[in-house]
Structure 1
């Protein structure tokens, strides 16, 4: 029997609509009816999380201490390598389970897991080449989040095929063993490919990976740091986004993650290629990356939780808007005359871009997954604005993923036991 859900207000692709009934069958929205009174809550489409490194949830709070010199992304990366070399498959599963629960409680209903911790601590492949990926998939299955698994290709330490560093040994692949890893991942969950960056994959390798993906998602880190931009110019004479777009088959199934340091010309070229800009505002602020110049970009964009230092879909939108306000010295930057409510404009754009990046059909519409979030309140624009800009904790009340309720009254049923498991792991690691 189909399930029916009544909402006082729902955010549809066309905007806010009153008295909506969703008919859900086999996890999909079979029909959507309006002028159906009786609902009390506000429904939002589930937010896709287009970029996550789940194992880094174990770093949250542990690296907020200055070293002897000036701290930067690169000093943070050294600490990340140390963590990566210490975690067992069981540890990765524990961290991913907590991260995925916090995503659901924070309003994300799907996640693109940019997964690069593949091998044993000494760099030896596990007997099951997808051992670590299987742990990620098991965590997602246990908590009920929709997963796009993105096994990462990582072969080099710098532009031009520089030999990898010893501390990168758990990440490394050749094209041959990456193909085996990708096939294993595709058997575990919907999958795409992820050349880590132009530093870690040469252009011929990026092209080979794009061919392997076919029409599936292709995600890549790019132009996150000024040092990366300078190194790319030194190697190729071009900036990273410029170099990639001139030499690789970038299209609508590509997500260019960060893109923090792009020119107006690069922004226009990204939009012309119909690629998604993958923005991770909280992590980009935490790492001191910089601010994505969204005034130079008219294409699709979505948000991701990246290092998982703080997991909350509304907070990502808040950080994005506030960073633009600081950079442009203006208010309500992401709104427009056609979409004057800033929170609504942010939310609609992030859902659409995130869905494109994950290869999903986004929004509350017939044929789309029945993945939605509920808020309380009488005025939907005010409720969403308060959720994004004013709430002291996630305002999410309920979360459904593919027709299954996974969060009730703001909490996931596995939250407490998962946190205890995670804390036990951290006591041992730290």
Structure 2
């Protein structure tokens, strides 16, 4: 079977058994299917090589198939891969101690799950129990905290939950980065505030200096718990080990996932401040933990990834190379104003805010043709989506320069397109997931 036939069969199966929308996106973009990867490069089924500036939206912090991590997880598999729920093991204890030492502040309990959304759900249960009778929860507009049912209550991208509504109506959304809005909303009726220290998702936004510090002060004054979602930002992605460090803020709860294992295993955790754990141990109010969270294999992968991050000084490298990437993207925004609004970012958490979904889709497709993978927002109705550039933290400066040059080449091509053509494509992209596959194949 040829590579093209294999691809067609795979996409047909994807459409029938997993996601019709994903299959359509692959078809219209002529995207290849990844089959192998190493370092900062992935390989397609047809043998093509792609520079990975998506890293599955920031997961592969230490790069693909890092030899040290691969060796450690192989050793873990040979010894002990999984234990029944409630069973302790040295790897979990070591990881909890390691995280408590790395994160600023004084930490008590650490509880493990498989995904960030699960972790957010545990914090919601804990908040509503220990803060009773308070019920109000504040979250940020355009925030992303996962898509399980309860987690979607604090999901700022409201378009996602229109089919079944939020679990609770006690959640209020504030404009991100607006200090005045914080001051007006936070009082002694609020149970908790949920915040991404840097807004991720399709609305990548860095808050103004002092924003997090003022939020911490307001929460302390009103007895409100501060829950920091660092699922995307932690472990060097933003140029610091944790994004909260930029304002020297210590949250009451810290939610971690994605880069924790460098992409080698699914894991998430909630770290509870020592004072909070002393006030009310998590086990007293939350007895429905994950049955597989924090299993030995995942914990060993996390410990190995943390060893790589520290030994190779990846946080410091991310800060240096992030400045190179962000400066280059800002220059592209200046040179191509018809297509790009601005270039938000900090460290190696960077992107281009584009003038509509059509521009984002075109740029993503042009970069794919040139051998570069970037992080598409996956929101065809966004008016100003951010196409994300999240390379591994060990990315070389020459690779950044190469990607910037290929991006400039792609943007120049887009800017030469007639405005009418872009407007028509915008209408098409806004509705593409509703179109039949036969039409998409022809148009693609």
How would you bin the TM-score normalised by the shorter chain? under 0.3
Provide TM-score, normalisation by structure 2: 0.27
Larger Rg belongs to? 2
More strand by share: 1
- TM-score scaled by structure 1? 0.27
